[in-house]
């Protein structure tokens, strides 16, 4: 038995702190939440307002621009058609909107953080263990306080998705920058470049393929949060999976699961294609 | 654990000796173990612990707690692998309905009466709370019909769809979710309110707790007995009285044109009939052991607030509500239970 | 006239370099310094004058500190102690922006593995020096194009470095340095990665260009033949110390010590047997 006298608990102070935050700054958090929500709703509005064939054509065009061949656009078009035919169109678009918003914020947060991690040793020492925590901490542990602060539904879902999904983007951005040939950086320095010119003109462009690989992983990990998101009230494919599970309607759950897989394959292939087209040796 | 069991056994032996001059031997005095379903939800776990203390301490019964989910426990009760299932909602599962009809299982009493479920708002929305400095936002709000009022709707506005109010339904996939969805339509509220599915019980609780702490209005479905009910001052909105006719329409016809209150839930101590025949003394105690709903809510709230184990909540109840439980048991047993508390 | 002067320059790598510096200055051997402080002495009291408008070669084997030395001149590496003068002005005193201006206008560099920007075209690489200092794009590219022509890469302007051979890449490197229009060009083993034929060609080209341009070139090499061929003056570096500085002839005729003598001997004997300049 572990001696009782050495035991301590941080649960009460944390509970008190969360309660204090909610009571004192609850409305501030809700305002932030509403700001994120309005962006998300706009993306969702566009995706849901577009005719289905328009969305499919846009996806096929993006796929074509990324890989410059016809195989991927056809695959993407076919898979999205299948999602529609399974009756999952609207749900897929809702999930997609959530994913896009989460990915957008992940990029806004993840890439600068990755740069910081690459450049500042202290940040690396602090942030790398934090990334491990973000990926291993069971999500409900931070989801419940997140709900209390940000409200139910899409916003905490986006936040949870980011927390779980952003670490690979940060890691690979940092890796991509540290992998840039030192002599190339030296060359830029030798010609009098400022650190800003080096970052934006040399390091980031050269790290793009690695950053895109990180983005790809981020999207894939985000998709695995779709069901968890639905457990805090975010609509979309995850909710149907959850409904299938809770009511033992295996078929329904599987159908929605297929929808998630379709979304995963489409986004994975497109971002991978983008990454490969950027690779130049 | 084993030490506890040994001391229980010793107490049982001692009691056996001490009360052997009683007119008829009780079930436990015959040395038979009392097997209880140890279910996982908070009220069920509380009741199991309460019965453990009453029969274990008061009557020297050898208690065996068997854990499992509700479905497995129901089957175990039917086959006689357990004796008592402490919190069963009557009419909720096919298996139990059949067993009740066939006479293998019967109700021995009610742990509490009138398990209410319904649509709630925090009390301060209607009555305000001078102590927390909250003005009543909707003093006129009493019943579900008023929810269509644009002024009321605006109070519960859904940030994801600001033109509508937000009704927090049951978590996705629970049976109450379908019923609430039907009721929303039946009351004609579906065009004014989003039918928001919180996805999990924890998410629903967190949203209600957060709204309460932020003194904001929130409209949600909830049920008794729960810690939440004991923790916060909530107000149930009035609904048209339950009738079988209305309920049938609600659950079968489409589209729904009317709706009414949930039926009051009947919750019982279910016992295996063979056991019941052998243990009239225990059945008699169960038939008396009814706790007011508010008190159960309070015990559950105590559990949640103090992060107490169900066993601690049972002790807390026994200490604070002696005037209730002393009526259920013999004076002699009451003394022993009280001794066990210290 | 000495364009660049290094005075008592020490460079010590390691966390406890201040402590190590004192030990080195007190005459403790490099091996003992390493053992006691974990610090590596890269440059040990280097004094060097580099003449304007000529090619000065710094020669040494790998590990002698020559690449470290050349990076002190544009402060890509900071000395642990010592002075570095450019036209009599101590560049150690420059502010960060002053240093950037110095690099833009006075010193450019050519690298052993070329250091080209793989995501920029040949033209964009060649005009980089001007882009950095904010010259208008059209103007910068016109200058870049001129120097691409000068190094013989006309027609390759829109290729990416990955599409070029090693020799062509280094021509781009050279064009980039020349286009920057600085009076100093630092060349760190610029031709070492090239095969012998291309290398000789590049050496010729450099000598040709230098005839017209009269830049102050600091050329780092480990190859005595190369040093003798292009250098107006040669300094020999060993274990972070300059062991001899002189005209090519001086080095050949009067090696200052055994180390230089062995270098020279090898150069005298090997070509006699093989008949090919290595």
Chains A and B touch (3+ CB pairs under 8 A): yes
- Tell how strand C2-13 and strand B193-196 pair up: unpaired
Q: Is C185 left (phi over 0), alpha (psi -120 to 50) or beta?
A: beta
- Residues 6 or more apart whose Cβ sits within 8 Å of residue B184: B167, B169, B190, B193, B195
Residue B17 has pLDDT above 70, yes or no: no
Domain count for chain B: 2
Cβ contacts (< 8 Å) between A193 and chain C: which residues? 100, 132
- Domain span at residue B142? 117-252
* CA distances in angstroms from C88 to A23, A42, B88, C50, C71, listed in the order given: 68, 64, 96, 12, 19
Q: Does A277 touch chain C (CB under 8 A)?
A: no
For tokens 């060993």, what's the residue? C238
Does residue B18 carry a pLDDT above 70? no
Q: Which of B182, B168, B183 is nearest to B221 (CA)?
A: B168
Instruction: Indicate the pLDDT class of residue B257, thresholds 50, 70 and 90.
Output: confident
Our CA-based measurement puts residue A124 at a distance from the nearest CA of chain C, in whole angstroms, of: 20
Q: What span, in angstroms and rounded, lies between the C-alpha atoms of A147 and C111?
A: 56
Residues in chain B closer than 8 A to A151 (CB atoms): 159, 207, 210
**Residue for token digits 């949930």?**
B262
> What is the average per-residue pLDDT within C7-11?
94
Query: Measured between CA atoms, how close is C133 to chain A, in angstroms?
Result: 8
Residue B220's SS3 state is strand
Residue A172 has a pLDDT of 95
CB atoms under 10 Å from CB of B80, counted, come to 14
**Cβ–Cβ under 8 Å, residues B341 and B322:** no
Q: Is C116 on the interface with A (CB under 8 A)?
A: yes
Q: Does the pLDDT of residue B6 top 70, yes or no?
A: no
Of A11, A23, A239, the CB nearest to B197: A239
Q: Check whether residue B181 and residue B203 sit in a common domain.
A: yes
Answer yes or no: do B219 and B105 share one domain: no
- In chain C, what residues touch A190 (CB-CB under 8 Å)? 74, 76, 103, 107-109, 186
Q: What is the pLDDT of residue A57?
A: 94
Residue A184 near chain C (CB below 8 Å): yes
* pLDDT, mean over chain C: 89
For residue B196, the domain's CATH number is 3.40.190.100
| In the predicted structure, residue C258 carries a pLDDT above the cut 90 | no
pLDDT exceeds cutoff 50 at B107: yes
Q: By CA distance, what is B174's nearest residue in A?
A: A246
- Distance, in angstroms, between A196 CA and closest chain C CA? 11
Pairing of strands C216-221, C55-59: parallel
Looking at beta carbons, which residues of chain C come within 8 Å of A281?
118, 162
pLDDT digits (tens, 9 = 90+) for C208-228: 989 888 899 999 999 988 999
Q: Which domains are delineated in chain C? A: 2-274 (3.40.50.300)
Peptide bond into A60 cis (omega under 30): no
Question: What is the H or E stretch that residue C187 is in?
Answer: strand C184-188
Q: Is C258 exposed, middle or buried (0-12, 13-18, 19+ CB in 10 A)?
A: exposed
Q: How far apart are CA B213 and CA B232, in angstroms?
A: 10
Within a domain: residue B261?
A: no
Report pLDDT for C273: 41
B257 located within any domain: no
B292 and B315 in a single domain? The answer is: yes
8 Å CB contact of C100 and A197: no
Among B91, B77, B93, B92, which residue's Cα sits nearest to residue B36? B77
Percent helix, percent strand, percent coil in chain C, to nearest 5: 45, 25, 30
Neighbours of chain A (3+ CB pairs under 8 A): B, C
Distance CA B315, CA B300 (A): 12
Q: Cis before residue B255, ω within 30 degrees of 0?
A: yes
For residues B161-184, average pLDDT: 88
Domain ranges of chain A: 12-278
For testing the chain A interface, which of B214, B228, B305, B307 should be mutated: the one with the most A CBs within 10 Å?
Answer: B214
Question: Is residue B302 pLDDT above 80, yes or no?
Answer: yes
Strands B161-168 and B157-158, how do they pair? antiparallel
Q: Is C65 left (phi over 0), alpha (psi -120 to 50) or beta?
A: left
The residue of C128, C186, C193 whose CB has the most chain A CBs within 10 angstroms, and thus the best one to mutate to test that interface, is: C128
Q: Counting beta carbons within 10 angstroms of the beta carbon of residue A161, is it exposed (0 to 12), middle (13 to 18) or buried (19 or more)?
A: buried
Q: Same domain for B238 and B283?
A: no
Q: In terms of Cα–Cα distance, which of C100, C249, C120 is closest to C175?
A: C120
Identify the closest residue of chain B to A35 by CA–CA distance: B159
Q: Indicate if B106 and B164 belong to the same structural domain.
A: no
Query: Is A33 an interface residue toward B (CB < 8 Å)?
Result: yes
Residue C103 forms contact with A (CB below 8 Å): yes
What is the spatial distance between Cα B228 and Cα B206, in angstroms, rounded to a whole number? 10
Nearest CB neighbour to C118, from listed A192, A194, A280? A280
* Amino acid A4: pLDDT: 80
Q: Is residue B260 part of a domain?
A: no
pLDDT of residue A278: 67
- pLDDT one-digit tens code per residue, C128-187: 999 999 999 999 999 999 999 988 899 999 999 999 998 999 999 999 999 999 999 999
Residues in chain B, how many? Answer: 342
Please give the Cα distance from A11 to B289 (Å, whole number).
Answer: 35
Q: What does the pLDDT read at residue B23? A: 43
Mapping DSSP to helix (H, G, I), strand (E, B) and coil, where does residue B290 land? Answer: coil
A191 vs C104, C112, C160: nearest CB: C104
B102 and B143, same domain (yes or no): no
Query: Distance between CA atoms of B110 and B293, rounded to whole angstroms?
Result: 11
The tokens of A144 are what? 């419940």
B326 found inside a domain = yes
Helix (H), strand (E), coil (C) string for B144-175: HHHHHCHHHHHHCEECCEEEEEEEECCCCCCH
Which residue, B252, B280, B310, sits at the end of a domain?
Answer: B252
How many CB atoms are closer than 10 A to CB C212?
8
Q: Which CATH architecture has domain A12-278?
A: Orthogonal Bundle (1.10)
Q: Which residue of chain A is at minimal alpha-carbon distance from C117?
A: A184
Condensed to tens digits (0 to 9), the pLDDT of residues B195-254 reads: 999 888 888 999 999 999 999 999 999 988 888 888 899 999 999 998 888 888 887 777
Q: Where does chain A have alpha helices with state H? A: 11-49, 52-67, 71-85, 89-119, 121-136, 139-150, 154-178, 182-190, 195-198, 204-223, 226-230, 237-246, 250-278
- B280: domain CATH number is 3.40.190.10
Model confidence pLDDT, tens digit, residues B23-76:
456 788 888 899 999 887 889 999 999 999 999 999 989 999 998 777 788 889
B171 and B65, same domain (yes or no): no
- State residue B94's pLDDT score: 79
Chain C residues touching residue A179 (CB < 8 angstroms): none
Q: Does A60 touch chain C (CB under 8 A)?
A: no
A190·C107 Cβ contact <8 A: yes
Q: How far apart are CA C186 and CA C172, in angstroms?
A: 15
pLDDT band at C271 (very low <50, low <70, confident <90, very high): very low
The residues that bridge with B234 in the sheet, in sequence order, are B122
Q: In A137-181, where does DSSP find H-type helix?
A: 139-150, 154-178
Residues of chain A with pLDDT under 50: 281
Q: For residue B4, is pLDDT > 60? A: no
> Is A250 near chain B, with CB under 8 Å?
no
Using 50, 70 and 90 to split pLDDT, how confident is the model at B160? confident
Mean pLDDT to the nearest integer, B158-172: 90
Identify whether residues B60 and B19 lie together within a single domain.
Answer: yes
Q: How far off is chain A from C132, nearest CA to CA, in Å?
A: 6
Task: Name the one residue in this structure whose structure tokens are 């897989």.
Answer: A261
C178 touches A: beta carbon within 8 Å: no
| CB atoms B159 and A151 under 8 Å | yes
Question: Measured between alpha carbons, how far is C202 from C230 in angstroms, rounded to an integer?
Answer: 11
The ipTM of this complex is 0.87
Biggest alpha carbon–alpha carbon distance for chain C: 58
Given B207, B224, B252, the domain boundary residue is B252
Look up tokens 């074509």; give the residue. A64
Q: Read off the pLDDT of residues B305-316 as tens digits, 9 standing for 90 and up.
A: 888 889 999 999
C-alpha gyration radius of chain C: 19
C128 touches chain A (CB under 8 A): yes
Q: What is the pLDDT of residue B1?
A: 46
**Chains touching B (3+ CB pairs < 8 Å):** A
Please state, as a whole number, how many other Cβ atoms lie within 10 Å of the Cβ of residue C49: 16
Under the banding of pLDDT at 50, 70 and 90, the label for residue C276 is very low
């Amino acid at each position: 038995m572990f001696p009782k006298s050495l035991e301590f608990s941080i649960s009460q102070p944390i509970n008190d702190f969360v309660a204090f935050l909610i009571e004192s700054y609850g409305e501030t958090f809700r305002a932030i939440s509403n700001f994120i929500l309005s962006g998300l709703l706009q993306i969702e509005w566009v995706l849901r307002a577009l005719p289905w064939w328009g969305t499919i054509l846009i996806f096929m065009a993006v796929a074509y621009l990324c890989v410059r061949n016809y195989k991927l656009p056809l695959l993407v078009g076919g898979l999205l058609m299948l999602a529609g035919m399974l009756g999952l169109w609207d749900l897929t678009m809702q999930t997609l909107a959530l994913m896009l918003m989460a990915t957008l914020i992940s990029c806004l947060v993840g890439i600068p953080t990755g740069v910081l991690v690459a450049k500042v040793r202290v940040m690396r020492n602090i942030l790398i263990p934090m990334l491990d925590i973000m990926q291993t901490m069971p999500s409900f542990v931070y989801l419940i306080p997140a709900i209390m602060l940000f409200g139910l539904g899409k916003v905490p879902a986006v936040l949870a998705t980011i927390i779980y999904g952003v670490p690979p983007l940060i890691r690979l951005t940092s890796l991509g920058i540290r992998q840039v040939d030192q002599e190339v950086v030296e060359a830029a320095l030798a010609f009098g470049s400022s650190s800003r010119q080096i970052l934006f003109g040399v390091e980031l462009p050269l790290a793009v393929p690695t950053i895109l690989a990180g983005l790809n992983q981020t999207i894939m990990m985000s998709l695995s949060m779709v069901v968890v998101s639905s457990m805090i009230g975010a609509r979309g494919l995850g909710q149907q999976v959850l409904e299938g599970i809770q009511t033992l309607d295996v078929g329904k759950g599987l159908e929605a699961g297929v929808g998630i897989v379709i979304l995963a394959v489409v986004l994975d292939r497109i971002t991978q294609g983008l990454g490969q087209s950027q690779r130049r040796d | 654990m084993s030490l506890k069991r040994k001391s229980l056994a010793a107490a049982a032996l001692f009691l056996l000796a001490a009360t052997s001059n009683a007119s008829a031997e009780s079930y436990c005095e015959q040395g038979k173990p009392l097997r209880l379903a140890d279910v996982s939800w908070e009220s069920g776990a509380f009741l199991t612990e309460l019965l453990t203390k009453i029969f274990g301490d008061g009557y020297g019964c050898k208690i065996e707690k068997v854990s499992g989910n509700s479905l497995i426990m129901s089957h175990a009760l039917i086959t006689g692998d357990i004796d008592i299932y402490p919190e069963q909602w009557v009419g909720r599962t096919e298996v139990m309905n059949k067993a009740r009809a066939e006479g293998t299982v019967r109700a021995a009493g009610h742990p509490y009466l009138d398990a209410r479920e319904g649509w709630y708002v925090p009390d301060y929305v209607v009555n305000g709370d001078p102590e927390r400095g909250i003005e009543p936002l909707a003093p006129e709000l009493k019943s579900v019909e008023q929810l269509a009022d644009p002024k009321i709707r605006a109070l519960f506005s859904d940030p994801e769809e600001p033109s509508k109010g937000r009704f927090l339904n049951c978590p996705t996939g629970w049976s109450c979710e379908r019923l609430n969805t039907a009721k929303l339509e039946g009351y004609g509220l579906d065009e004014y309110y989003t039918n928001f599915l919180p996805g999990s019980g924890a998410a629903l609780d967190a949203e209600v707790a957060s709204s309460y702490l932020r003194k904001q209005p929130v409209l949600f479905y909830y049920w008794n007995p729960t810690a939440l009910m004991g923790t916060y001052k909530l107000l149930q909105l009035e609904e048209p009285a339950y009738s079988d006719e209305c309920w049938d329409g609600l659950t079968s016809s489409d589209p729904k044109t009317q709706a009414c209150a949930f039926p009051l839930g009947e919750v019982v101590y279910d016992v295996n009939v063979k056991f019941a025949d052998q243990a009239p003394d225990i059945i008699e105690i169960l038939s008396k052991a009814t706790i007011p709903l508010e008190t159960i809510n309070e015990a559950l709230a105590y559990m949640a607030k103090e992060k107490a184990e169900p066993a601690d909540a049972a002790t807390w109840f026994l200490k604070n509500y002696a005037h209730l439980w002393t009526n259920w048991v013999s004076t002699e047993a009451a003394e022993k239970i009280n001794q066990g508390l210290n | 006239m000495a364009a660049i002067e290094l005075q008592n320059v020490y460079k010590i790598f390691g966390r406890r370099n201040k402590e190590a510096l004192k030990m080195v200055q007190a005459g403790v051997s490099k091996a003992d310094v390493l053992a006691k402080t974990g610090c590596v002495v890269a440059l040990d009291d280097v004094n060097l004058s580099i003449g304007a408008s000529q090619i000065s070669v710094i020669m040494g084997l790998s590990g002698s500190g020559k690449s470290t030395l050349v990076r002190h001149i544009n402060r890509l590496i900071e000395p642990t102690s010592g002075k570095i003068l450019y036209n009599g002005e101590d560049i150690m005193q420059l502010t960060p922006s002053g240093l950037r201006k110095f690099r833009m206008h006075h010193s450019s560099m050519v690298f052993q593995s070329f250091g080209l920007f793989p995501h920029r075209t040949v033209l964009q690489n060649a005009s980089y020096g001007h882009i950095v200092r904010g010259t208008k794009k059209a103007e910068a590219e016109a200058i870049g194009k001129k120097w691409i022509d000068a190094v013989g890469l006309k027609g390759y302007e829109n290729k990416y470095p990955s599409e070029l051979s090693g020799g062509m890449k280094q021509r781009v490197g050279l064009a980039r340095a020349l286009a920057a229009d600085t009076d100093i060009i630092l060349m760190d083993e610029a031709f070492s990665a090239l095969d012998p034929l291309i290398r000789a060609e590049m050496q010729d080209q450099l000598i040709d260009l230098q005839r017209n341009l009269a830049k102050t070139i600091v050329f780092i090499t480990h190859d005595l033949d190369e040093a003798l061929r292009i250098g107006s003056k040669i300094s020999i570096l060993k274990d972070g110390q300059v062991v001899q500085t002189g005209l090519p002839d001086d080095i050949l005729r009067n090696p200052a010590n055994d180390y230089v003598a062995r270098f020279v001997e090898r150069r005298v004997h090997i070509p006699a047997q093989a008949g090919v300049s290595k």
